[in-house]
């Protein structure tokens, strides 16, 4: 019984982390139709700026809890600088091209940002460990957990709900949905697609940076963070259905639980469990769990 | 307009390619200069822990050697026996195909007299035959796999530091000597060849000295995973008496940061095979009472000597407060070994710059002093070094304001390395025949 | 310009020119060309798939299968002949491709790309796990022989390898050129334009895609085997997504209109990479990225498009 609870909780913690990290990728794909390989770099940049912000924040005598806001603010600042800059300054020149070309553009961006991050922050590690202790420790059964990890579960739920409500229950959200559904038609109906693209891309970057920012307290922030994150998010987004927020949530749960099951019961399989789930899912339901209906144009 | 742009671009491309192919080779045939290339990770996950420290150590050592008289004897001659050393770095990232290309470029185009390098075992394996084919001097410095000189004989390839077998054998000898509880042993090792070899060496050695030890959970996080919550739960759940890990760099730091608050380091013994390189970055967040090694008698284990004092002072001149760690020590001993060999070969060559063959002959079977003690080219027909190893337990020193090691045991090179003529794997499986421990 | 005798004449001339070039260039440069040819072969396979409107992000799977196929035949089977090894590598990938192709042929666009990616990452994981194949460290190979000739020196070894690679490249390029202009090859372009139209005309889209995929697997295998004997080392990295990413880049840079453009693009990529690691050791990835962006931006139809445009302009002026 203890083992089942542990697997469920571990899976849930892992799933919420994966969701926070991956959801930005699915949003950008949904709206802009770009499979963003540089997603991991935004994650890494978020981790770096958050580490800087946390370092500054806790060196003064500020209320500890508000450090979380400092991290959020840092991620937001990074997104506001990078999002519009990259969307207007780079990506828009490739919109009329094949979607595969756009994947390559983000691959080039991945290479560029990988070195740029190193040139800015160097190779020495940064830490943001203070927030990790904010929520103390919590016992569940005989197992001891760090409160911060459970806080991340809450954060993931909040992000998911805010995104879902924002898209489905607000006017501008519905406009975004219209763009996702049919870009040309929305444009013809008077939607400012350019604006939607800038905003959606920036939110996507913000979500990636936020993932990095809230991971920073439990890791050593240093070169090499980006690569692993891209593939994991990628798998989640494919399993869930490209462009679907609900799908990303459920896929994160599936991947998180699959990983927890593997580590507790068959640890040798951890290396490829994610790709196995992805391959099986694609074979069974190629469009993912929540596939947006595709129009077939003849 | 478009045509013009293309014309300019094409012209630029042609020009740069032409200049690239016919790069003037400054040191070619230069008898007064020794061109030394260092291959190490300057980007990616290996850069922070081993790559950049390794390159810094090599670069600073070479600058000091070129200035002359800064190191204690016998290393007080300028450069390598009077030859000025020109040193440059090549990034080890990008996979084996790229590394083989780069190594060929380095020897064939850039005319390096010798290359010291490689942290990743796959790069070591791929690079060694290339140097051998080109008849150029290659010195491996950090990679672990014993396969290189056990599977094949080399004339031009050397490793001036120990391979990975001794790292785990020493830990096991330490556990035995200090009578640490060994009922069940669990492992959390990165899932690639290095991690798998380390766990195999460890658990086999342990069950050799203590056959009643049961194998607990064997966890295999992906290299670069960064998230260890579930693994930590699994370790807490199965509650083994000893936990072995060969995680390194950012992965090891993340594991420690996530495991310490959950009490993993209390009530069970964690043994980190190569842990000294995270002591400085983690500072007080490194738990006390953890068994660590440093892949040699370096880092916090280094014994006081004129050479070691010099290394510490020279490191802190550039990075105040930083104690040199594994990569610094292994790189420094590699460069000093090469210097010794070049100088020995020069003496035999009428004080002229020696040929690659002469240097290789001088390095074969050589012994030399380093900040990490005496290094002996004992294995692989005199091409593979052995060195002593030390294991200890972490403890916070409030006065020094840093983590130190206590309860240190030093194991002689012959005690933790296999003797000549037996593969590491077989040596462990047969219960360490011929080991000389005091 | 397409009669068989003209084509074979051009091929023979190309071979002779390449052989002379290899004698003039320094050894490191020749070796760089060999690895560029190996990657070019795999990218050429990708171009075959792209012609039918699909993109595989898992071409590395076949590159890897070819490398391991050739490598294991050498280590376990004692075969040293380069030609046999490369053919074996190609064959292993061909079989693998033929098995997978029917499963994949029903998928389109991003789903096709991601499924191939997932498969190659699974192979990467499995090989990393396979301790008897050296795991992630991989295996070292012996120097190959060429039709009984065993090179004695390093320079000889590199040049024979280069000549061998040239023969492979010219042969494969020739086969692809013939294929591109054949009915089957043109049918791929029709599939790219409109699948439903092709089906109404009585051809099977699924079959065209399967065949192209299998042929691409074969080329990927040949490239992987060539790379394996050139580098003399095989490891799971060959199936990693970044390897596949490079093939995609070469294929996009070359465009799908010309065969020789594929090799031009591949050579360009290798030289830019080598160039930037020499001059910007701390920012070589960034230089590579900038080069990629610039070439995508300024060469919308790839290098092949550039060649094609010139040809059209020449023909146009002739008519006028």
Interface ipTM: 0.93
**In Å, how far are A2, A27, A119, B367, B410 from B376, measured between CA atoms?**
53, 59, 39, 4, 16
Around Cβ B250, how many Cβ atoms within 10 Å? Answer: 25
From CA C243, how far away is CA B157, in angstroms rounded?
A: 29
**A187 touching chain B per CB within 8 A:** no
From CA C26, how far away is CA C32, in angstroms rounded?
A: 10
Band of pLDDT at residue C314, cut at 50, 70 and 90: low
* E strands in B247-353: 269-272, 291-293
Residues 217-236 of B with CB under 8 A from C: none
Looking at the DSSP assignment, which residues form a beta bridge with residue B83?
B80
Q: Residue A215 has which token pair?
A: 């991971």
Around Cβ C282, how many Cβ atoms within 10 Å? Answer: 14
Measure in Å the smallest separation between the Cα of A10 and chain B Cα atoms.
5
Band of pLDDT at residue C297, cut at 50, 70 and 90: confident
Most confident of A20-24, A43-47, B5-9: A43-47
Could you say which of 3.40.50.300, 3.30.70.360, 3.40.50.720, 3.40.50.2300 is the CATH number of the domain covering B165-294+388-429? 3.40.50.2300
Domains of chain B, residue spans: 25-163+304-386, 165-294+388-429
Residues 68-107 of C with CB under 8 A from B: none
Q: Residue B297 has which token pair?
A: 């008698």
From CA A74, how far away is CA A54, in angstroms rounded?
A: 9
Looking at the DSSP assignment, which residues form a beta bridge with residue C234?
C139
Round to the nearest angstrom and report the end-to-end CA distance of chain A: 55
From CA A205, how far away is CA A75, in angstroms rounded?
A: 9
Measure in Å the smallest separation between the Cα of B119 and chain A Cα atoms.
16
Percent of chain A clearing pLDDT 90 (strictly above): 57
Round to the nearest angstrom and report the end-to-end CA distance of chain C: 20
**In Å, how far are A25, A142, A264, B228, B237 from A2, measured between CA atoms?**
35, 8, 12, 19, 9
Round to the nearest angstrom and report the end-to-end CA distance of chain B: 81
Q: Does pLDDT of C1 surpass 80?
A: no
pLDDT at C103: 84
Neighbouring chains of A at 3+ CB pairs within 8 Å? Answer: B, C
**pLDDT tens per residue across span B193-204:** 889 999 999 999
* Mutation site, C233, C288, C300, interface B, largest B CB count within 10 A: C233
Q: Residue B51 has which token pair?
A: 């790559």
CA angle C106, C55, A202 (to 5 degrees): 110
What secondary structure does DSSP assign to A56-83, as a single string?
Answer: HHHHS---GGGHHHHHHHHHHHHHHHHH
From CA C174, how far away is CA C186, in angstroms rounded?
A: 16
Q: Is the dihedral of CA A153, A155, A158, A162 positive or negative?
A: negative
- Per the prediction, chain B carries an average pLDDT of 90
pLDDT at A297: 45
Phi/psi at B405 (nearest 5 deg)?
-115, 140
CA B135 to chain centre: 24
Cis bond upstream, residue A262 (ω within 30): no
Please list every residue in chain A whose beta carbon sits closer than 8 Å to the beta carbon of residue C126: 272
Mean pLDDT score, B122-139: 94
CA A200 to chain centre: 14
From CA B117, how far away is CA B139, in angstroms rounded?
A: 6
pLDDT at C317: 46
pLDDT at A184: 83
**pLDDT tens per residue across span C28-53:** 999 999 999 999 999 999 999 988 88
The residues, any chain, with a CB within 8 Å of residue B318's CB and separated by 6 or more, are B56, B60
Is-contact B159 B149, C-beta < 8 A?
yes
From CA A241, how far away is CA A162, in angstroms rounded?
A: 19
Please list every residue in chain A whose beta carbon sits closer than 8 Å to the beta carbon of residue B230: 10-11, 13-14, 259-260, 263-264
Could you say which of 3.30.230.70, 3.20.20.20, 3.40.50.2300, 3.60.15.10 is the CATH number of the domain covering B25-163+304-386? 3.40.50.2300
Domain A2-284 top-level CATH class = mainly alpha
Q: What burial class does residue A78 get, using C-beta atoms within 10 Å of its C-beta: 0-12 exposed, 13-18 middle, 19+ buried? A: buried
**pLDDT tens per residue across span C83-110:** 999 999 999 999 999 999 988 888 777 7
**pLDDT tens per residue across span C254-296:** 888 788 889 999 999 999 988 888 888 888 889 989 998 998 8
pLDDT at A61: 85
**B100 touching chain C per CB within 8 A:** yes
Least confident window among A126-135, A218-227, A279-288: A279-288
Residue in C122, C196, C248 closest to A272 by CB = C122
Locus of tokens 């074996």: C88
CA angle B268, B273, B276 (to 5 degrees): 100
Q: Residue B172 has which token pair?
A: 């096991």
Which position has the higher pLDDT, B108 or B2? B108
What secondary structure does DSSP assign to B99-167, as a single string?
Answer: HHHHHHIIIIIS--SEEEE-SSHHHHHHHHHHHHHHT-EEEE-S---THHHHH---SSEEESS--THHH
Residue in B21, B96, B145 closest to C235 by CB = B96
Q: Residue A17 has which token pair?
A: 């982390």
Band of pLDDT at residue B17, cut at 50, 70 and 90: low
Q: Does pLDDT of A129 surpass 80?
A: yes
Task: Please judge whether A14 and B230 are an interchain contact, meaning their C-beta atoms are less than 8 angstroms apart.
Answer: yes
Is-contact A135 A148, C-beta < 8 A?
yes
Measure in Å the smallest separation between the Cα of B247 and chain A Cα atoms.
13
pLDDT at C320: 38
- Per the prediction, chain A carries an average pLDDT of 89
> Residue B386 has what DSSP assignment?
E
Nearest to B197 by CA among B174, B225, B169, B239: B169
* Mutation site, B56, B215, B227, B320, interface A, largest A CB count within 10 A: B227
Around Cβ B66, how many Cβ atoms within 10 Å? Answer: 16
Measure in Å the smallest separation between the Cα of B23 and chain C Cα atoms.
11
The residues, any chain, with a CB within 8 Å of residue C56's CB and separated by 6 or more, are C46, C49, C112, C113, C116, C213, C216, C244
**Residue A136 three-state SS:** coil
Around Cβ B150, how many Cβ atoms within 10 Å? Answer: 19
Q: Does pLDDT of A189 surpass 60?
A: yes
From CA A159, how far away is CA A107, in angstroms rounded?
A: 27
Q: For chain C, how many helices (H) and strands (E)?
A: 13, 2
- Longest Cα–Cα distance of chain C, Å, equals 67
Locus of tokens 């799971």: C236
Strand C139-140 and strand C233-234: the pairing is antiparallel
**Closest residue on chain A to C301 (Cα):** A97
Task: Please judge whether B193 and C134 are an interchain contact, meaning their C-beta atoms are less than 8 angstroms apart.
Answer: yes
Nearest to B242 by CA among B279, B205, B277: B205
Around Cβ C171, how many Cβ atoms within 10 Å? Answer: 13
Mean pLDDT score, A112-138: 92
Q: How many domains are there within chain C?
A: 1
User: Considering just the CA atoms, what is the radius of gyration of chain A in Å?
Assistant: 19
Around Cβ B31, how many Cβ atoms within 10 Å? Answer: 9
Residue range of the domain that includes C9: 4-240
**Residue B391 three-state SS:** strand
Band of pLDDT at residue C318, cut at 50, 70 and 90: very low
Mean pLDDT score, B355-382: 94
Q: Does pLDDT of C243 surpass 60?
A: yes
Residue in B43, B226, B233 closest to A223 by CB = B43
């Amino acid at each position: 019984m203890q083992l089942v609870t542990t697997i469920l909780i571990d899976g849930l913690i892992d799933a919420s982390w994966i969701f926070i990290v991956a959801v930005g990728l699915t949003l950008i794909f949904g709206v802009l139709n770009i499979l963003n390989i540089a997603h991991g770099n935004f994650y890494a940049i978020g981790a770096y700026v958050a580490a800087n912000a946390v370092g500054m924040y806790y060196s003064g005598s500020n209320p500890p809890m508000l450090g979380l806001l400092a991290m959020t603010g840092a991620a937001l600042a990074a997104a506001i600088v990078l999002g519009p800059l990259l969307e207007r300054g780079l990506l828009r020149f490739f919109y009329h091209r094949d979607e595969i070309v756009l994947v390559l553009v983000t691959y080039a961006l991945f290479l560029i940002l990988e070195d740029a991050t190193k040139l800015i922050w160097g190779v020495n590690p940064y830490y943001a460990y203070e927030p990790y202790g904010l929520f103390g420790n919590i016992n569940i059964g005989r197992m001891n957990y760090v409160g911060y990890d459970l806080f991340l579960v809450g954060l993931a739920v909040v992000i998911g709900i805010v995104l879902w409500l924002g898209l489905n229950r607000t006017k501008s959200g519905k406009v975004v949905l219209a763009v996702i559904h049919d870009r040309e038609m929305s444009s013809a109906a008077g939607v400012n697609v350019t604006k939607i693209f800038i905003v959606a891309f920036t939110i996507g970057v913000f979500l990636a940076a936020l993932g990095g920012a809230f991971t920073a307290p439990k890791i050593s922030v240093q070169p090499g963070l980006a690569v692993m994150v891209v593939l994991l998010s990628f798998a989640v987004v494919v399993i869930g259905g490209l462009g679907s927020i609900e799908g990303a949530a459920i896929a994160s749960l599936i991947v998180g639980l699959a990983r927890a099951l593997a580590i507790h019961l068959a640890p040798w399989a951890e290396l490829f469990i994610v790709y196995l789930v992805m391959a099986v899912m694609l074979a069974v339901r190629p469009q993912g769990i929540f596939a947006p209906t595709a129009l077939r144009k003849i | 307009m478009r045509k013009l742009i293309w014309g300019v671009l094409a012209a630029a491309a042609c020009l740069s390619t032409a200049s690239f192919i016919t790069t003037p080779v400054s040191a070619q045939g230069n008898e007064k200069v020794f061109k030394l290339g260092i291959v190490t990770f300057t980007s990616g996950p290996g850069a922070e822990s081993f790559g950049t420290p390794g390159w810094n150590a090599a670069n600073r050592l070479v600058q000091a050697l070129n200035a002359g008289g800064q190191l204690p004897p016998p290393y007080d001659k300028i450069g390598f026996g009077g030859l000025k050393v020109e040193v440059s770095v090549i990034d080890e990232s990008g996979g084996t195909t790229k590394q083989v290309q780069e190594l060929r470029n380095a020897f064939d185009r850039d005319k390096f007299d010798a290359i010291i390098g490689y942290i990743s075992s796959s790069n070591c394996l791929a690079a060694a035959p290339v140097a051998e084919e080109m008849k150029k001097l290659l010195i491996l410095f950090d990679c672990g796999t014993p396969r290189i000189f056990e599977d094949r004989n080399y004339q031009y390839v050397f490793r001036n530091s120990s391979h990975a077998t001794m790292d785990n054998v020493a830990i096991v000898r330490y556990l035995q000597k200090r009578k640490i509880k060994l009922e069940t042993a669990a492992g959390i090792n990165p899932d690639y060849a290095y991690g798998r070899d380390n766990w195999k060496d460890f658990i086999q050695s342990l069950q050799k000295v203590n056959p009643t030890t049961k194998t607990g959970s064997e966890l295999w996080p992906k290299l670069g995973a960064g998230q260890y919550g579930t693994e930590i739960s699994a370790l807490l759940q199965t509650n083994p008496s000893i936990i072995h890990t060969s995680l390194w760099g950012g992965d090891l730091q993340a594991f420690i940061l996530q495991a310490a608050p959950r009490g993993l380091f209390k009530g069970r013994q964690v043994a980190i095979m190569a842990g000294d390189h995270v002591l400085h970055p983690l500072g007080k967040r490194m738990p006390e009472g953890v068994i660590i090694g440093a892949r040699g008698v370096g880092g916090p284990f280094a014994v006081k000597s004129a050479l070691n004092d010099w290394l510490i002072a020279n490191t802190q001149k550039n990075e105040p407060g930083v104690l040199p760690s594994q990569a610094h020590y292994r790189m420094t001993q590699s460069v000093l070994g090469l210097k010794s060999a070049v100088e020995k070969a020069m003496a035999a060559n009428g004080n002229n710059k020696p040929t690659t063959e002469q240097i290789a002959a001088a390095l074969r079977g050589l012994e030399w002093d380093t900040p990490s003690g005496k290094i002996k080219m004992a294995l692989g027909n005199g091409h593979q070094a052995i060195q002593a190893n030390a294991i200890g337990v972490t403890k916070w020193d409030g006065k020094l304001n840093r983590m130190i090691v206590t309860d240190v045991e030093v194991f002689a090179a012959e005690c933790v390395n296999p003797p000549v003529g037996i593969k590491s794997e077989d040596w462990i499986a047969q219960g360490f025949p011929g080991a000389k421990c005091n | 310009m397409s009669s068989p005798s003209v084509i074979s004449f051009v091929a023979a001339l190309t071979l002779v020119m390449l052989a002379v070039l290899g004698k003039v260039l320094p050894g490191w440069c020749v070796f760089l060309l060999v690895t560029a040819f190996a990657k070019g072969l795999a990218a050429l396979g990708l171009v075959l798939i792209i012609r039918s409107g699909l993109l595989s992000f898992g071409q590395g799977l076949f590159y890897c299968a070819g490398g391991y196929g050739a490598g294991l035949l050498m280590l376990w089977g004692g075969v040293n002949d380069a030609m046999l090894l490369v053919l074996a590598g190609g064959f292993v990938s061909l079989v693998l491709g033929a098995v997978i192709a029917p499963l994949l042929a029903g998928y389109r666009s991003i789903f096709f790309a991601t499924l191939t990616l997932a498969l190659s990452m699974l192979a990467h994981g499995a090989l990393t796990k396979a301790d008897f194949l050296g795991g992630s460290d991989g295996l070292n190979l012996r120097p190959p022989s060429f039709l009984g000739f065993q090179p004695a020196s390093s320079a000889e070894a590199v040049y024979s390898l280069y000549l061998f690679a040239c023969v492979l490249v010219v042969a494969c390029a020739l086969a692809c050129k013939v294929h591109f202009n054949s009915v089957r090859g043109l049918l791929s372009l029709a599939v790219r334009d409109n699948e439903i139209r092709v089906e109404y005309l009585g051809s099977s889209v699924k079959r065209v895609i399967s065949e192209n995929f299998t042929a691409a697997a074969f080329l990927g295998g040949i490239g992987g085997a060539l790379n394996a004997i050139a580098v003399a080392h095989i490891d799971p990295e060959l199936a990693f997504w970044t390897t596949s990413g490079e093939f995609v880049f070469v294929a996009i840079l070359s465009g799908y209109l010309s065969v020789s453009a594929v090799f031009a693009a591949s050579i360009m990529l290798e030289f830019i990479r080598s160039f930037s690691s020499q001059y910007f050791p701390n920012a070589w990835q960034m230089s590579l990225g900038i080069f990629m962006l610039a070439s995508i931006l300024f060469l919308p139809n790839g290098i092949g498009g550039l060649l094609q445009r010139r040809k059209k302009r020449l023909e146009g002026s002739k008519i006028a």
